[in-house]
Structure 1
Amino acid sequence: MHLLILDGHHLEAEFRQKFGPTHQYSFVPAGPGRLVDELEEAMPLLDEALPTVDVVFDFGNYGPLYEEKEGLVAFVEASTESLAGRFGADKPAYPVFGFCGLPTLLNRPQLEVSLYDEADAAQLADCCARLGTACGRVADRVGLFTPRLLALGVNEACAALQEGIVGAAEAAQLLPVAAISPFEQADAVGLGRIYDVLSALWDDTHDARYQASPLLKRMALRGEAFGSAR
């Protein structure tokens, strides 16, 4: 299959590890910039790739650039926005699915996905089979499942550390479902991305659990990492 990845250059290695060498990959733009900022330079790459593309992985909101391509399937990164929130009642002309595309969370045994339309479930199963991956369906909601769980665990650990309830070593054990500590996982994913997930969850639910702790917010805005703070 031919995979077109928009704004996903930062995950090129993980994409290739996840789906393997039998597929063709086109990353647009080719470098670490964003397509919306580099349209003039990136459009020739996009025009060259689109005629043979089977699957789009969209890390932005670029549907108008590929919506006229017949036969493609689109996965849109949905850690901070539900499909219902993005598309409303305007169902795209192509099958569209949400997916978890946060760093380190893509190359998992199951591709975490959500559906906009239950009628597309068979196409999802067929596409994932052709990609060579199992898929784990979750509800179409802000934060999907794993990003929401991770953001909650990191936030709780950071709040406990800030309040002096526990020390750094104890706080690092507050996400028992993970093989590594919440601090290590936040550093791997990117604390800024964790903060973005929390902000989206807070805006969606106003649930106090998702209100970013002052320490987490400050570190995210300063571009810091937990590893340097312990």
Structure 2
Amino acid sequence: MNILVIGEEQHYAAFLQKGGLSGHRVQQVSTAERIGTLEDYGLVIDLDFDEHTDRARIYAKYPQVPVLAAIVRTSLADVMNNYAFEQGFNLVGCNWLPGFVAMPVTEVSVMEEEQKPLLADIMKELGWEYEIVEDRVGLVTPRVVCMIINEAYMAAEEGTASREDINVAMRLGTNYPKGPFEWCGEIGVTRVYKVLDAVYKATGNERYKISALLAQEAGIDMKIVRKN
């Protein structure tokens, strides 16, 4: 199968740890704008679609080419509503965030039941395990992990415990593989901020209201955000 993977080098290198691409012809590019046509590909894997949702215009022109797209900060429904997929919807939402991209089970969402058989075929050919979750902003694992990271920042902000103590407590107390600040380091604090911001705007739930310390480290001026 001819596979096009779109993503920056560091993100792509982490993605390669997932395996499953041996035996396939893979091309990696940093931006979709460098691709003239998708006709020669049997699959597109877009690792940073969340940052470039306007790529949907490109994908809508090739409904026959399935796209496993990083869709965490928006939803498939929003993408479909904002862009014209007149000949068929070919996007599958995936949790391709750094820190999750190589996990043994890929979290995915679909918009239409008709997508499920094709998705099953693709995952079988790649040898990947996957779990279909509800199409909603944040999916499941990203919103839970980012919420835990946010709460850890609040605890650090209040002086409840040091970052290392919080990491150790999470690993030993809940048997999580990483502490919240370790997760944040892998995902990237700016990405964590953007996920929390998207989920908070979508739900209005106060549990996703962003810690001032987290926002500060993400380079966000909360005074300006609140003003706007």
Q: Describe how 1:112-123 pairs up with structure 2 within 5 A.
A: 112-123=107-118
**CA-to-aligned-CA distance 1:104-124 (integer Å, 9 cap, x gap):** 201111111001112211111
Tell me, what secondary structure is at the counterpart of 2:17? helix
- Once residues 91 and 71 of structure 1 are traced to their aligned partners in structure 2, the CA distance between those partners, rounded to angstroms, is 12
Give the AA of the match of 2:75: S
Give the AA of the match of 1:96: L
Q: Describe how 1:56-67 pairs up with structure 2 within 5 A.
A: 56-58=44-46, 59=49, 60-61=52-53, 62-67=55-60
- Once residues 70 and 196 of structure 1 are traced to their aligned partners in structure 2, the CA distance between those partners, rounded to angstroms, is 29
Further displaced range: 112-121 or 210-219: 112-121
| Root mean square deviation, CA, Å | 2.1
- Once residues 134 and 175 of structure 2 are traced to their aligned partners in structure 1, the CA distance between those partners, rounded to angstroms, is 20
Partner of 2:213: 215
Length-normalised TM-score, structure 2 = 0.83
Shift, 1:167, TM fit: 3.2
Shift, 1:8, TM fit: 4.5
Shift, 1:21, TM fit: 2.2
Tell me, what secondary structure is at the counterpart of 1:118? coil
Where structure 1 has 5 or more consecutive residues not aligned to the other structure, the ranges are 223-230
Partner of 2:194: 196
- Once residues 121 and 12 of structure 2 are traced to their aligned partners in structure 1, the CA distance between those partners, rounded to angstroms, is 23
Partner of 2:149: 154
Shift, 1:185, TM fit: 1.2
Q: Describe how 1:2-21 pairs up with structure 2 within 5 A.
A: 2-18=2-18, 19-21=20-22
Q: Describe how 1:41-190 pairs up with structure 2 within 5 A.
A: 42=34, 46-47=35-36, 50-58=38-46, 59=49, 60-61=52-53, 62-69=55-62, 71-88=64-81, 91=85, 93-172=88-167, 173-174=169-170, 176=174, 178-190=176-188
Further displaced range: 167-176 or 108-117: 167-176
Partner of 2:223: none
**CA-to-aligned-CA distance 1:15-62 (integer Å, 9 cap, x gap):** 322233222222223xxxx55xxx4xx2xxx12x62321111232221
Distance 1:70 1:217, change over 3 A: closer
Distance 1:147 1:219, change over 3 A: same
- Once residues 141 and 3 of structure 1 are traced to their aligned partners in structure 2, the CA distance between those partners, rounded to angstroms, is 27
**What is the count of residue pairs matched by the alignment?**
209
